[in-house]
Structure formats: C-alpha cells, structure tokens
C-alpha cells in the first residue's frame, strides 16, 4: 500500500488565486505554471524559492482552463472561444483547433503534448478526444468516451478520464488501439489524471486522490476528506488539477479554497 506522508500548502487564497484549474511542472527550471482561471491569467511559481516568480502575459478576453508544455511550447485551452493558444518565444498564437472538426470543439477540458509538437485535447461536450498536428485537427476515433475531462501522455500512451462511465482509458498511439485501464467502484468519476516518471497514475475525483500502480494494475485510495483532516487544519474543497514531481511528489489545486498544495507520497510494494 501507499500513503500521503505529508501535505504542504504552497499558495493560500490570500495570494489572489481564483479557481486554479491547471498545472504544468517544468523540471528544468523547477517552476510550476498555474492556470488562474478566475482571474483569466497564468502564474509562475518557483518551487525552489517557494514563491510566485512571475505573471505570464494574458490573452485579452480569454478564459483559460487547462495547460500543457511540450516541444510545441506552452499550450492553454480557452473555454471562452473553445480554442487553443500556444506560446513560443514569448509570443502567443491562436491555434485554430476547431478547423476540420464537425461539430466544432466545445469545452476543451484538458490538453497534453508530445516531443514532436503534436497536441491532444479533450472535447468534453462532444464526447471525443482530438489531435492537432501541423495546425490541423482530427478526431481519434478509436477512443470511445463519455464526458472526457482529463488526459495525460506517458511515452506512447494517452490516458483519458472517461468520466461519464467512471473509468480510465489507455490509448496506444503507435497502434491506434484503446482499452479500459482502470475501472473503479460505484460513483468513481475521475476528473484529472497525471503520470509520474515510472508510469504510475494519480487520479482525482472531486474530493479523493487515487494512485494506480501500473505494474500491478492496482488502484489505491491515498487521499480523501478524512485523511486530509489528519494532515491539514483546513477542510478539503474541490480537487482541481494534478501535476507529478520527481521523487514521489504530487501537486494539486483546490478550486474552492483557491490554494495550491504539495503532497509527499510514499510508495510501498
């Protein structure tokens, strides 16, 4: 079994966060980009100095929800225009994600990118997963999902929260095959998913976090409201985004308490 050994608050509501909905960890700089959706901006948090280091220039009028970093730059989904913005060399450009999609993209809830510059994103209201390559969007027809919200990429595997059906899907991008990877108990409605360096998955629902040990194909509950009360004096609100850190660390946002937390997770065989 595994457990959360410690929980540390990195940002309180006093920092001005409003509905923090996305996280991206940059191992090279040891910084975390936070999507501050309520304030329609991006913040950069320095994990070494334990403080905010900068505010990324926002796109006028957007409503950012999720973000990812890959070879293509920094990508942010915009639920105001149902589109994707990509930042490279300190400049934003609008990727016409809906071009070639019928019906058009409607609520891109999560995004991930690979080393080739391709982007994968959820289309929540249209029950599908899309891909953007060389500026053109297409649907990954092999992925059958209902209300997909979160996704993450690990090597050549794309993991998707099939939220409407209460399960996690795994898509082999090389062979275009998809299977059910995780199926939880009743009322298991996964929202976010993140993969660590070993390929294990962290999966969140509204007020719980699970660890899925991929080598054992075993799902473990590591955090719920009761466990949180033993770790922190404040109550748990609503778990938002997840981001894995090296050496069994996990970041998550609380979109109700407007906070960013760091969990130290001890894995046991």
55-107: pLDDT as tens digits: 988 899 999 999 999 987 999 999 999 999 999 888 999 988 888 899 999 99
Q: Return the pLDDT at 198.
A: 94
Q: Average pLDDT of the chain?
A: 94
CB-based contacts of 191, cutoff 8 Å, min separation 6: 149, 150, 161, 163, 204, 205, 206, 239, 240
Q: Return the pLDDT at 269.
A: 64
Using CA atoms, how far apart are residues 50 and 10, in angstroms rounded to an integer?
Answer: 7
pLDDT (tens digit, 9 = 90+) per residue, 181-190?
Answer: 999 888 899 9
Using CA atoms, how far apart are residues 257 and 235, in angstroms rounded to an integer?
Answer: 9
Q: Return the pLDDT at 185.
A: 83
Using CA atoms, how far apart are residues 239 and 246, in angstroms rounded to an integer?
Answer: 21
At which residue do the structure tokens 């308490």 appear? 257
Spatial strand order in the sheet of 259-266: 3-11, 259-266, 249-254, 239-245
Low-confidence ranges of the chain (pLDDT < 70): 269
């Amino acid at each position: 079994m595994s457990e959360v050994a410690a929980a540390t608050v990195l940002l309180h509501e006093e920092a001005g966060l409003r509905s923090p909905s996305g996280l991206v960890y940059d191992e090279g700089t040891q910084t975390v980009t936070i999507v501050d959706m309520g304030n329609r901006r991006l913040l950069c948090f320095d994990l070494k100095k334990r403080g905010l280091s900068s505010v990324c220039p926002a796109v006028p009028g957007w409503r950012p929800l999720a973000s990812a970093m890959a070879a293509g730059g920094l990508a942010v989904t915009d639920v105001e225009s149902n589109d994707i913005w990509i930042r490279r060399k300190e400049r934003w450009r609008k990727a016409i994600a809906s071009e070639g999609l019928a019906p058009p993209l409607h609520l891109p809830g999560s995004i991930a990118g690979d080393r080739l510059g391709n982007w994968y994103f959820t289309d929540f209201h249209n029950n599908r997963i899309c891909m953007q390559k060389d500026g053109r969007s297409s649907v990954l027809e092999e992925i059958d999902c209902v209300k997909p919200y979160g996704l993450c990429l690990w090597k050549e595997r794309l993991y998707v929260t099939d939220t409407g059906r209460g399960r996690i899907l795994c898509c082999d991008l090389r062979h275009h095959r998809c299977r059910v990877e995780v199926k939880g108990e009743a009322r298991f409605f996964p929202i976010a998913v993140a993969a660590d360096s070993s390929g294990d998955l962290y999966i969140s629902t509204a007020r719980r976090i699970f660890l899925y040990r991929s080598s054992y194909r075993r799902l473990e509950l590591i955090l719920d409201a009761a466990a949180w009360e033993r770790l922190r004096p404040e109550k748990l609100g609503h778990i938002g985004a997840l981001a894995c850190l090296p050496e069994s660390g996990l970041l998550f946002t609380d979109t109700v308490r407007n906070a960013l937390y760091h969990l130290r997770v001890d894995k046991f065989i």
